[in-house]
Amino acid sequence: MSGYPGVMAQSEAFFDRWGALAVFFARFVPPIRAFVPITAGALDMAPSRFFAVNVPAILLWAPAHVLPGVLAVSSLENSSLFEHAGGHPKHFWMPVVVGLSLIIGLAIWTLRRRHGGSMIEPAAD
């Protein structure tokens, strides 16, 4: 692993330059969200700097994840789309989400099967 020290140096330089932005925007990217605090601690980011960026990101992240659902159900309540079905629109929300997820998943699966298992083409040299 001769390239490992160079990679570490590059990673540290990147985090020194973009660490605050990385902490902020990582809050919105699920797989990365778990690793940025560990990376910040391992690269000696000052806790005051980490929390100064992380707390505002959390305050934006929480509503960004909850409000779409609230707005969608609110829109359904204001529309007359489900009046004939009886019941509250929120009772129909999850079946609609599951149904759309299944349709999208089936479409992606079909496209991947038609393209030999991969929809991403390798970069041309």
pLDDT in tens, 79-118: 766 666 666 666 777 788 889 999 999 998 888 888 776 6
* Annotated domain spans of the chain: 1-71, 79-125
d(CA 92, CA 40): 42
Is 2's pLDDT higher than 60? no
96 or 47, higher pLDDT: 47
**CB of 24 within 8 A of CB of 57?**
yes
d(CA 63, CA 74): 15
Among candidate residues 80, 18, 69, the one with its CA nearest the CA of residue 43: 18
DSSP string over the chain: -TTHHHHHHHHHHHHHHHHHHHHHHHTTSHHHHTTHHHHHHHTT--HHHHHHHHHHHHHHHHHHHHHHHHHHHHHHHHSSTTGGG-S-THHHHHHHHHHHHHHHHHHHHHHHHHTTT-SPPPPP-
Model confidence pLDDT, tens digit, residues 10-22: 767 777 777 888 8
- What's the confidence (pLDDT) of residue 80? 67
Q: Which stretch of 31-40, 61-70, 82-91, 104-113 has the lowest confidence by average pLDDT?
A: 82-91
- What's the confidence (pLDDT) of residue 119? 55
Q: Residue range 4-33: average pLDDT? A: 78
Does the global pTM surpass 0.85? no
